[in-house]
Every structure is written in structure tokens, then in C-alpha cells.
Amino acid sequence: MSYLEIMNRLKKKEVAPVYLIYGTEPYFAQNIKTAIEGLIFRDDEERDISVYDLEETPIESAVGDAETYPFFSERKLVLANNPGFLKASGDKLPFEHDVAKLEQYLEAPVPYSVLVLTAPYEKLDERKKIVKLLKKHAVVAECHPVKEQQIGPWIDQIAKEHNIVIEKAAYEIFEVELGSNLRMLENEIQKMALYAGEDKVITKELAEKLIAKTTNSTAIGLVDKVIDKDLNGALRIFQELEKMKEEPIALLGLLAFQFRTILRVKLMKAKGYSQQQMQKQLGVHPYVVKIAASRERSFSVGQLERIIQKFTETDVRMKQGLMDKRLAFELLLYDIIKKA
């Protein structure tokens, strides 16, 4: 079930006893969990919420907690994160998960608890019995990143939620500055909604004025520093983003989006494509193509391919826990600026 389908159900106050949230888009996953929490608890009651990291705690502990009657409220929310046993190759842990306990629970979940499994993985092992049972008895939410051509509709969706209108000319500011980082998109649009006034319209001028305050703290600024071979400047932007509570994985995605676009524009330009043809082929805003076209001259195809390969390697290190995310991002900047 898609993110929007899940959210529509929750808006109708339909809460299931068990959820499986899987995919690599944390914005979707967090919104679903927040919506569930808001539905099962009253504002005036103490919330009975338990959080388990299944890389440190066996699944039977989370299941046992769900089966235990809540003490502080009428219902209980049990969040179980990182269920590696749902993947094709499970993680090596100092203990074994008693998956049979979860299988039994799925057959007869208790009415006073909501169990939410969050699997931040691209794929699950569809052959496993537990995955089949989850798909049969639980509500499965697929939380995958939006594609480049879907950014515009998501800006519309976020604007609708905040009851504002975004002028067409302002779209390019959001798309170029924030790419597919939905959390940053929502934060910026929410901020602008406060300044939109009675008309509730975000103009290009308003977008430029307000985003300008954080322009140097976006992927655009990072790309500029890479082009200028300014490692200190790039690290300074990264530190500013950390203060804004931005995740290194999300920033990596923003940076990768910019360089993939630059490479694709460079390749199409070599084949004689016009900017209009590039825009249609890529499914992005014309301004995105214009910016990429002005930057592609700073790199050879080989350089761009090597940089994108570095992004892939860093993404693997971060998601598999092979290296501290902050250190991995800083080493990435060093590699693509100094070693280039």
C-alpha cells in the first residue's frame, strides 16, 4: 500500500493492530508513525510508547510488550525498528530472533496495542514465511523515495496540507534548492506559509527571499563548493546542516540528485539535445536543466561518473553501518574535492 493510501486511511481514523513500514524514505515512515500515535492517544493522557531496536533486542521482547496490558493509557504503541530478519541476508547479531513468536502474534493480535515494524530497507525477502504473514495480516506501507518527476506533485501535496498556493515561478526555487528532500521541502513551505499573508500565496520573490537565508546550507551550495574545490567551505555548509538536524543520508541524496542531473545534461548536450528536450526527457523543472547546463562545463564525463560512484559507495557505508555517517560524508567531500 502506498504512503498516500495509508495516510488517507489514517485520516479516516482507521487504525490497524499491526503495521509494517518498509522503504528508505524516512519522511514517509515518520509521518505514518506520528499519525498513528496521534490517533491512538488522547491529548490529555500519558502515552504508553515502547521503542525497540531489533539489532539490539530480540523480536519476542517487543511482541511480549505488545501483549502486556498498558498501564498509563487505554492503548499502547510498540515501535520495533530494524527487523533485519525480513531481508534476504539477515544481519549477524549476538542473538537469534524467535520469529515464531511474531508469527503467532500476527494470527491473533491484542486489541489494546498497535505494533509497528519499521524496516528501512529497499527490499524484503518475499520468500520468507514471516514476510508473507505480514503481508496477509498487517497493513504494509511502502515508503520509497519519490522520483525526480514526482517532485512537483509532492510540492502540491505539501502546499495543500498547509492551505497555501505556490505560484508556478516559485516551483523552480524549491526544486533546484531542495531536490527530493521531502522533509526540507515541508519545512521550507511551512515556514513560508507563515509569511504568505491573507492571500496564502507564495510568490517567486517570497521564495527567493526566505530560502536565501539557507541557500548556502543546501545541496546547491555544496555543489558550488565542489566546483570551486573549496573543501573548507563545503565542510562549513555540512556543519550548518547538522545544526539544522539534517541527516547525512538525506544530504547525500540531495547532492547525488544534483550531480546525476549534471551528468545526464552533459551527455544529452553532447548528443545535440536542446534544453527543452532535456527537460522533457528528465521530467524536471526547466530551471533545473538550466543550472545543470551551466555547471556541466566544470566536469568531464569521467569525473562525474567517478563522483557518482563515490556517492554509491558512501550510501552503502552509511546504510549498512560500516562507518559513522558524519565521518563518511566528510570523507566523501574530501574525496570528490581534494582527490579529484
17-50 pLDDT, tens digit per residue, is 999 999 988 888 999 999 999 999 987 778 899 9
Q: How far is CA 279 from the centre of its chain?
A: 24
In sequence order, the β-bridge partners of residue 48 are 76
Query: Residue 216: what pLDDT?
Result: 44
Only one residue has cell 549476538, namely 94
Q: Are 155 and 180 in contact (CB under 8 A)?
A: no
Residues 6+ apart with CB under 8 A from 146: 25, 154, 180, 182
Dist. CA 89–CA 320, nearest whole Å: 12
Compute the CA torsion angle 81, 87, 90, 95 (nearest 10 deg).
Answer: 40
Dist. CA 204–CA 140, nearest whole Å: 39
Dist. CA 100–CA 63, nearest whole Å: 11
Q: Are 262 and 304 in contact (CB under 8 A)?
A: yes
Query: Residue 179: what pLDDT?
Result: 62
Q: Are 59 and 80 in contact (CB under 8 A)?
A: yes
CB atoms within 10 A of CB 55: 13
Q: Are 177 and 217 in contact (CB under 8 A)?
A: no
DSSP secondary structure letter of residue 89: S
- Parallel, antiparallel or unpaired: strands 48-53 and 76-81: parallel
Burial zone of 254 (CB within 10 Å; 0-12 exposed, 13-18 middle, 19+ buried): buried
Instruction: State phi, psi for 215 to the nearest 5 degrees.
Output: -55, -45
Domains and CATH numbers, the chain: 3-142 (3.40.50.300), 146-217 (1.10.8.60), 218-340 (1.20.272.10)
| pLDDT, tens only, 157-179 | 788 878 888 887 787 777 766 66
Q: Are 78 and 65 in contact (CB under 8 A)?
A: yes
Query: Residue 215: what pLDDT?
Result: 44
Q: The whole model's pTM is what?
A: 0.62
Residues of the chain with pLDDT under 50: 212, 215-217
Q: Which three cell numbers stand for residue 332?
A: 566523501
Helix 325-334 / helix 301-319 crossing angle, nearest 10 deg:
170
